[in-house]
Amino acid sequence: MTRSARLCELTAHELSELLASREVSAREVLASVCERVAEVEAEIHAYVRLTRELAERQALEVDERRARGEQLAPLAGVPLALKDIFCTEGIETTCGSRILQGFVPPYDADVVERCRRNGLIFVGKANMDEFAMGSSTENSAFGVTRNPWDLDRVPGGSSGGSAAAMAGSEAVVAMGTDTGGSIRQPASLCGVVGLKPTYGRVSRYGVVAFASSLDQVGPITKDVRDCALMMNVLAGHDPRDSTSIAVPPPDYTKALIPDAKGLRVGLVKEFMEYQGRRVDPEVDQAIASAVERLRELGAECGEVSLPYLNYSIPVYYIIAPAEASSNLARYDGVQYGYRTPEQGADIIEMYSRTRDEGFGAEVKRRIMLGTYALSAGYYDAYYLKASQVRTLIRRDFDRAFEQFDVLVGAVSPTVAFRLGEKADDPLAMYLSDVCTIPVNMGGLPGMSVPCGFSADGLPIGLQLVGRPLGEEALLRAAYAFEQSTDYHKRRAHAIQDSNGRRSAVARA
């Protein structure tokens, strides 16, 4: 394989060094990524649309600026996959939904602006569950995304396209959003790194809203150093977002210390057991081994129980749909996006037909649940009560952080499941996020880092949770663990064998 064909498999920090020394150009790196996309995208379907012309202009600009001797940002020239939930000026943004087809934003989201300023190259808009509602990327109006480790399995969701692009080397870094685990769960299932920052650490301006008190933007990358570099790009106060935290972010790369000495790490019982069941044995064993590895690296490890976490799923599926029913009320076929061609007798009928045709089944389900929970006579019984329990969940975390610096456990109770396996069972699908949802309830930073593989060669992730604005502790623990293993160095290479069977080859 030529040098160019292998560039797409490198990490962002490796490419950054090559680009800065002019050993390679941004156009060469982009060409390698585009070559990889041409090879595997038909099978993986990580993207809903590619932006090749824009990417080529951006890469050329980076090369020209570097040739003039300008000082560029560390990630200048690095190809990026953007989840299709971020408004991008001049580029169609659909949020995985038919109802937004044809919507071309006249402005960039804050995080997109930051990426442009730092010279990242936009490869395309990554596929996602419609309006970020799902755990498998099977709810997209534009087709399912497949896991590069096994093309018959899901990549997780809702940021499944971004995670699959990372695992399949169809980009070098990626961005997603996390409302109930939508960065961490697909990162775990695809064997890459994903970080959900503290609520408010990264601006939500220009991000299509699902549940406003839960949504948060974060990076999905090939390793922990790349994650820290992306956080240096994304984090910061934005006056356009009223929930943005006005605390200057640190240089996250300074947290990357290859030992865990002095860190107090707590294994959360409720991240390993849920509703009378325990996570799959292979996941259980991988997490236990990871905790033991952290102990060997100098961490003080113990166990802790957070009993109110058992109520996270019912609380989430009251609060999130309630907020979604409010946020999605704006899609009526009048101002932008899809409108039914059959106008009907009056505007009410036009609204009804547009929404019926434009929204998918899962989105309709959550809108109805949320509208019911907020309706007269039920608000106090459902939404208010859920908000009160949410406070108790946060207090459980507060008490745990009196003993520990970092909490750990499973990201997902299982490895990647088969396409269609849970499509007709919404409750089973919702339980895919049972380990991740509590972190969003508390507005805390959470992270997934590869910690093992199943007997079938499917990735398993370790979840790390920190105090508010405690991303540095997570990055330190994750980096120390990562550097003592080789899980992050393995790559999935999706292929079809001579018999036409869908498969994947992992190569260190």
**Which residues participate in catalysis according to the annotation?**
83, 158, 182
| Three-class secondary structure of residue 148 per DSSP | coil
Backbone angles phi, psi at 351, to 5 degrees: -55, -50
Alpha-carbon span 319 to 326, nearest angstrom: 11
Instruction: List the structure tokens of 13.
Output: 């920090």
Contact between 176 and 183 (Cβ < 8 Å): yes
> Contact at 8 Å (CB) between 193 and 227?
yes
Alpha helices, DSSP H only, in 183-330? 184-190, 224-234, 281-296, 312-327
Nearest one of 173, 160, 177 to 126, comparing CA atoms:
160
CA–CA dist 83, 204 (Å, integer): 13
Residue 364, number of CB atoms within 10 A of its CB: 14
For residues 490 and 501, give the distance between their C-alpha atoms in angstroms, rounded to a whole number: 22
Tokens of 291: 């905790």
Number of C-alpha atoms within 13 angstroms, CB side, residue 348?
0
Residue whose C-alpha is closest to residue 183's, from 210, 211, 209, 161: 161
Helix (H) or strand (E) holding 345: none
Q: Which of 437, 442, 444, 465 is nearest to 265 (CA)?
A: 465
- Give 150's strand partners: 147
Handedness of CA 257, 259, 260, 262 (dihedral sign): negative
- Tokens representing 316? 């989430």
CA–CA separation, 360 vs 351, rounded Å? 15
60, burial (CB in 10 Å: exposed 0-12, middle 13-18, buried 19+): middle
Of 273, 284, 207, nearest in space to 238 by CA: 207
The Cα–Cα gap between 84 and 98 comes to: 12
